[in-house]
Amino acid sequence: MNDLTKYIDHTNLSPKATTADIEKLCSEAKRFGFAAVCVNGCYSALASKLLSGSNVRIATVIGFPLGAMTTDTKVFEAKNAVVNGADEIDMVINLGWLKSGKHHWVKTEIGAIKKGIGKKVLKVILETCYLTDQEKQIACKLAVEAGADYVKTSTGFGPAGATIEDVELMITAVQGKALVKASGGIRDKTTAWKYIDLGVKRIGTSSGPQLLKS
């Protein structure tokens, strides 16, 4: 169990999440020793305060969950999250731009966010359920070229989450130049270990404690 905990981003991105829910999330993350909590921007400062002095990192989502905001908006949101205590930024790519063939725009946006957050970790959410395999490969390549630290499968808000096939494709596409995070629909230990055995370095799940017991 202890080996699994270091991979888990304990997540609550519900639009109905209350301060009490975030307090519970952070308490569980400290108790189990999870890698990070993943929260919406309005809770970055609270999570930072609650986790002060612990080894649990704060990941904040940006352009979530659609990815269709302007680049300036995303950059501001990312910088603001860092000011409020975020150690890691999980951003959603602009899917419409990718599908329009505006690859330079996608890459430029990722690069602008990475530049804006400096040495903080940047994870790029592809939302794979909406992409063809070719588009997934292109998105991974653009993320790597823009300096992203991770590519991530899903927001958890699309019609499907992580799959073994997508993770294998992403690991091949990044060619060791970025790490991979699997998220969306991972609710048991067996599934989590399948992804880790493939080479995934983070697991995004809202079921962290339950997953450890499964």
- Candidates 120, 123, 136, 152; catalytic one: 152
Bridge partners of 181, per DSSP, are: 152, 202
- Candidates 74, 123, 141, 181; catalytic one: 181
Residues 6 or more apart whose Cβ sits within 8 Å of residue 18:
none
Kindly report the backbone phi and psi dihedral angles of residue 42, in degrees, each rounded to the nearest multiple of 5, phi listed first.
-65, -15
For residues 5 and 34, what is the distance between their CA atoms, to the nearest angstrom? Answer: 5
197 is catalytic: no
Beta-sheet strands, E only, within the chain: 8-12, 36-39, 57-62, 88-92, 121-125, 150-152, 179-183, 202-205
For residues 55 and 25, what is the distance between their CA atoms, to the nearest angstrom? Answer: 15
Q: For residue 182, which amino acid is it?
A: A
114 is catalytic: no
* Closest of 104, 149, 151 to residue 124, by C-alpha: 151
- Candidates 9, 90, 149, 166; catalytic one: 90
23 C-beta neighbours (distance < 10 Å), count: 14
Residues 6 or more apart whose Cβ sits within 8 Å of residue 197:
none
149 is catalytic: no
Residues 6 or more apart whose Cβ sits within 8 Å of residue 136:
126, 128, 166, 169, 170, 173
Q: Catalytic positions, please? A: 90, 152, 181
